[in-house]
Amino acid sequence: MAVAATLRILPSGGFGTRRALRMVERNVMIYRKGWPYLVSGFFEPLFYLLSLGIGLNHLVGSVTVGAQTVTYAAFVAPGLLATSAMNGATIDATFTVFQRLKIEHAYDSVLATPLTVQDIALGELTWCVFRGALYSASFLVCMAALGDAASPWVILCLPVAILTSLAFACAGMAGCTYLRSWQDFDLVSLALVPMFLFSGTFFPISLYPTGIQVVVRATPLYQAVALSRGCSLGVFDWAMVGHAAYLVVMAVTGLLITSTRFRRLLTP
Amino acid sequence: MAVAGDQLTQRGAAQPRVGWAPWRRALWFHYAFWQRTWKGSIVSSFLFPILYLASMGLGVGHLVNEHSGGVQGVSYLDYVAPAMLALTALQVSANETMWPVLASFKWVRSYWTAVSTPVSARDVVVGKIGWVTIHVLMVGSIYTAVLAVFGTLHSPWAILLPLAGALTGFAFAAPIAAFSATQESPQAFPVIYRFAVIPMFLFSGAFYPVSQLPGWLQPVVQVTPLYQGVALCRTLALGQGALAMTCVHIAYLAVLAAVGTVVCIRNFRRRLEV
């Protein structure tokens, strides 16, 4: 849904043909064999939630967000939800796409069929978003089951997670077209790990000095965490419109760069 | 991944001397390789542990100290810091003994090159496991120095922290390499990572005392090797803990390392010495 909405704003023709679904189908067929790998990705954020939610809950006590005071588990859960969307979408958008683009040259074979470069980009993107959404939706169910969802608005976390997946998948794919070798993937983790650790996932950013707060507020994951946490706790403010707009702009920019780069790399 | 021998010579790496034992040459291979690639490995082996420590120790630590006044009589940062060394040991050993070992068998095939010389399968194992242990020792020494500078160490025994880290790394490297030597594809590695490495990382008492966990989970956690490594490192850094328990931790890790090495040599022989 979100993909289709984003694509409608794009000027370039030929985007969004139904042939892109063939790329999605290709992924489905691949993961039909590797499904344990697909499923296992869901457990990482759940392990984090169980470990920190149970182990640190008593040691941390409660955390204050806006006017609300919540348990540490309820505080950290929406943050982990946002990171699971980020990781789920980024893994396929970078590692898998890089493998197919530069190692296996799978896309060159795809181009020998009626599919176009845009179909490839769109199809892979849809799959990445699906993967991010899959992880987020299942995490959301666990979160609710563990009682870590503080308000009924938590249901809004799902569209937030899909938007997050979309933004990170677009940006990740755009980024991975510039990578030269597997060694360059250090740069990907160098971007993801500090964001994971410092974007307000594990503790409120009010603990930082003002200068660092400005930097953290500029990171994409912070937008996702803030949106997700706001929905989960039922604390809404106008800044959330800004967070959402940030992610939409990130998705559109990433998509434009991806399609330009794919065209340059794949067509002679 | 593997660097051709002549390339190493050209770039002026330290050369093996005439008369070196084969195992020493196998060890040297990894050293020479590391000389080329240490800049890349420093991100995951050193920078990320420090970032984790900053995020958990300082960020979450602020919340913990405010509410509970620290853990076991020390600030949360001081509590987590030594545990992070054991976690790094696990991380480094797992990274170096899963994909790289399979790659050396299947894709780069450097083990086959090695055993076509006087180097035996046993020498290959000694070189690999030995190098991982030395690597963890190096990372642990720098890490301990950083902890000392920031004043998170409470006991003179902390000087032994790099050795405790190296023992933990050894205890993981040997059995994981033994397992990797039996694999034909990397499919199992992400599963091990997600269902063994990450749960151990999160539940082994690194971030909070095991007593915070539900009762049935505590004995499960206590039999994991990472718990032993974390407890050993923490005992040395904080100077708390009974001598008998410390001996148990050391003995547990030493036995795991020894058994792992024996099995590893057996598995490497099976695959390399037809």
pLDDT tens-digit readout, B143-159: 999 999 988 999 999 99
A3 contact B CB<8A: no
The 10s digit of each residue's pLDDT in B203-215 is 999 999 999 999 9
In a domain, B146, yes or no: yes
Q: How far apart are CA A205 and CA B47, in angstroms?
A: 21
Into how many domains does chain B fold? 1
The H or E element containing residue A61 is none
Cβ–Cβ contact B42 with A under 8 A: no
Q: In the prediction, which pLDDT does A96 show?
A: 87
* Res. A252: pLDDT tops 70: yes
Q: What pLDDT is attached to residue B18?
A: 81
- Given this model, what pLDDT does residue B2 score? 45
Residue B109, domain member (yes or no): yes
Chain A environment of B214 (Cβ under 8 Å): 54
Tell me how many degrees the CA angle B66-B59-B208 measures, rounded to the nearest 5: 70
pLDDT-above-90 percentage for chain A: 51
Domain boundaries of chain A, sorted by first residue: 16-266
- Return the pLDDT at A114: 87
Best of B45, B51, B55, B56 to mutate (most A CBs within 10 Å, chain A) = B55
Tell me which of B56 and A4 has the higher pLDDT: B56
- Contact criterion met (CB below 8 Å) for B215 and B135: no
The whole-chain average pLDDT of chain B stands at 90
**A9-18, B60-69, B165-174, B262-271: least confidently modelled range:** A9-18
What is the extent of the structural domain holding B193? 22-32+41-272
Q: Is B263 on the interface with A (CB under 8 A)?
A: no
Mean per-residue pLDDT for B256-263? 97
Q: CA of B38: which chain A residue's CA is closest?
A: A183
Nearest to B55 among A58, A61, A197 (CB): A197
Q: Backbone phi, then psi, for B19, in 5-degree steps?
A: 95, 0
User: Nearest CA of chain B to the CA of A71: how many Å?
Assistant: 12
- A56 and chain B in contact, CB less than 8 A: yes
User: Hey, are the CB atoms on A56 and B203 less than 8 Å from each other?
Assistant: no
Residue B54 in domain: yes
Handedness of CA A252, A258, A264, A267 (dihedral sign): negative
For residue B47, the chain A residue with the least C-alpha distance is: A190
Residue of B46, B63, B80 to mutate for A, most A C-beta atoms under 10 A: B63
The answer to the question of residue B185 being in a domain is yes
b/e sequence A36-51, b meaning 16+ C-beta within 10 Å: eebebbbbbbbbbbbb
Q: Any CB–CB contact under 8 A between A114 and chain B?
A: no
**Alpha helix (H) ranges present in chain B?**
5-10, 22-42, 48-53, 61-68, 76-97, 99-106, 110-115, 121-149, 161-180, 188-192, 198-203, 217-222, 225-238, 243-272
User: What is the C-alpha to C-alpha distance for residues B92 and A102, in angstroms, rounded to an integer?
Assistant: 28
pLDDT given for residue A16 in this prediction: 57
Q: What ipTM did this prediction achieve?
A: 0.86
Higher pLDDT, A4 or B102: B102
Instruction: Give me the residue from B60, B213, B214 closest to A202, CB to CB.
Output: B60
Answer whether residue A75 shows pLDDT above 70: yes
Residue of A nearest to B199 (CA): A47
A47 interface with B at CB cutoff 8 Å: yes
Pairing of strands A68-71, A62-65: antiparallel
CB-based contact (8 Å) between A206 and chain B? no
Among B51, B76, B212, select the one facing A194 at the smallest CB separation. B51
- What is the pLDDT at residue A15? 55
- What is the predicted pLDDT for the residue at A6? 52
**Mutate which: A70, A181, A203, vs B, most B CBs within 10 A:** A203
Name which of B43, B54, B63 is nearest A190 (Cβ-Cβ). Answer: B43
Chain A partners of B63 at a C-beta cutoff of 8 Å?
60-61, 63, 72, 203, 207
Across the A:B interface, residue pairs with CB atoms under 8 Å apart total 90
Cβ burial, residue A257 (10 Å; 0-12/13-18/19+): middle
Cβ contacts of A56 on chain B, cutoff 8 Å: 60, 64, 207-208, 212
Round to whole Å and give the CA distance between B226 and B168. 7
Residues of A in contact with B45 (CB under 8 A): none
Domain-embedded: residue B64: yes
CA-CA distance, A34 to A31, in Å (whole number)? Answer: 4
Q: How far apart are CA B62 and CA A192, in angstroms?
A: 23
- Specify the range with the lowest mean pLDDT, choosing from A160-169, B69-78, B165-174: B69-78
Q: Is B80 a residue whose pLDDT tops 70?
A: yes
At B20, is the secondary structure helix, strand, or coil?
coil
Asked if B207's CB is within 8 angstroms of A43's CB, the reply is no
Q: How confident is residue A3, by pLDDT bands cut at 50, 70 and 90? A: low
Tell me the residues of chain B between 50 and 79 that have a Cβ less than 8 Å away from chain A. 51-52, 54-56, 59-60, 62-64, 67-68, 71, 76
Q: How many CB atoms lie within 10 A of CB B5?
A: 12
- Pairwise CB contact (< 8 Å): A193 & B55: no
Identity of the residue in A37, A48, A59 whose CB atom sits nearest the CB atom of B71: A59
User: Bridge partners of A62?
Assistant: A71
Token pair of A39 as six digits: 């499923």
- Write the residue in A47, A60, A197 that is nearest to B198 by C-beta: A47
Over range A99-128, report the average pLDDT.
89
Please say if the pLDDT value at position A47 is more than 50: yes
Shortest distance, CA A69 to any CA of chain B (angstroms) = 13
Asked if B67 lies within 8 A of A51 by C-beta distance, the reply is no
- Say if B11 falls within a structural domain: no
B190 touches chain A (CB under 8 A): yes
In the predicted model, is pLDDT for residue B69 greater than 50? Answer: yes
Q: pLDDT by residue (tens digit) across B124-144?
A: 999 999 999 999 999 999 999
Residues of chain B with C-beta less than 8 angstroms from the C-beta of A44: 194, 198
